[in-house]
Amino acid sequence: DAGVIQSPRHEVTEMGQEVTLRCKPISGHDYLFWYRQTMMRGLELLIYFNNNVPIDDSGMPEDRFSAKMPNASFSTLKIQPSEPRDSAVYFCASSLRINTIYFGEGSWLTVV
Amino acid sequence: TQLLEQSPQFLSIQEGENLTVYCNSSSVFSSLQWYRQEPGEGPVLLVTVVTGGEVKKLKRLTFQFGDARKDSSLHITAAQPGDTGLYLCAGPPRGSDMRFGAGTRLTVKP
C-alpha cells in the first residue's frame, strides 16, 4: 500500500488567503485524523472521522478551520482566511478500528 | 494542560548510556501507544500496551504500562545515534480519539 498521502508537501501563502490541505487515507481504513504539530503545542488532534462521518471536531481552533470527508478515500482541511499563527505541520493519519495509526508525511504550512 | 504529560522534554546522552522516559496521566487509558518521529516525517508506531503492568520489549527498548493504566515508561538500553528522535506517547481517552503527549526529544551523541 502507498500509505497515507498528503498534499501539498509544503505551502507558503499570504495572510488572508485560503489554504486547502488534502489527504488520501490507506485503503480500507475506517478512521481518519487531522493533527497539527507545532513546537509550542505539540501534536494536537483537530478533528477525526469514522466511516466518513465527523465524530469530534472540538480541536478545530475556530470557524476559520473546516474539514470534510466526502468519501472513504479523500479528505480536506481548509483554512479561510489563513493567519500567521496557523503556520505548522498538518498531519493526516488513518487507522483501522483505532489500532495502529499511520501518518502521512505532513503538509508544512507557512503563512506570511 | 496536556492529557498525557511526558518527561523529560529534552534528553541528550552519549552513545552506550541507558535512559528512561515517562508518560503520565491522571486518566485511565484502555491502551497506550509509543511512537517515534524523525525530522521531516510523521510519527511511526513502536508498540501498544493494553494490560496494566504489561511489559513489552522491542530489541533494546522496553515498554511498561502502569498497573493502574495511567502511566507508561520507555527504557532504552545502550542507546545508539539511530535512536535519536521525538518519542511520543498516545492514548484514546474516550475510546477512539487518539491524543498525544508533547513528546521527549532524544539526542544520542556518538
Q: Which residue of B has its CA nearest to A10?
A: B40
**A47-92: per-residue pLDDT in tens?**
999 999 999 999 998 899 999 999 999 999 999 999 999 999 999 9
- Residue A94, min C-alpha distance to chain B (Å): 11
> B81 with B17: CB under 8 angstroms?
no
For residue A48, the chain B residues in CB contact (below 8 A) are 96-98
Q: How far is CA B48 from each of CA A3, A28, A59, B109, rounded to the nearest angstrom?
A: 20, 21, 24, 28
pLDDT of residue A40: 87
In this complex, do A100 and B97 lie within 8 Å of one another by their Cβ atoms? no
B14-30 mean pLDDT: 95
Radius of gyration of chain A (CA): 13
Question: Can you tell me the distance from the alpha carbon of B9 to that of B105, in angstroms, rounded to the nearest whole number?
Answer: 6
pLDDT of residue A1: 60
pLDDT of residue B1: 63
**B52-85: per-residue pLDDT in tens?**
999 999 999 999 999 999 999 999 999 999 999 9
Radius of gyration of chain B (CA): 13
Q: Pick from A16, A10, A20: which is nearest to A66 by CA?
A: A20
Backbone angles phi, psi at A41, to 5 degrees: -115, -5
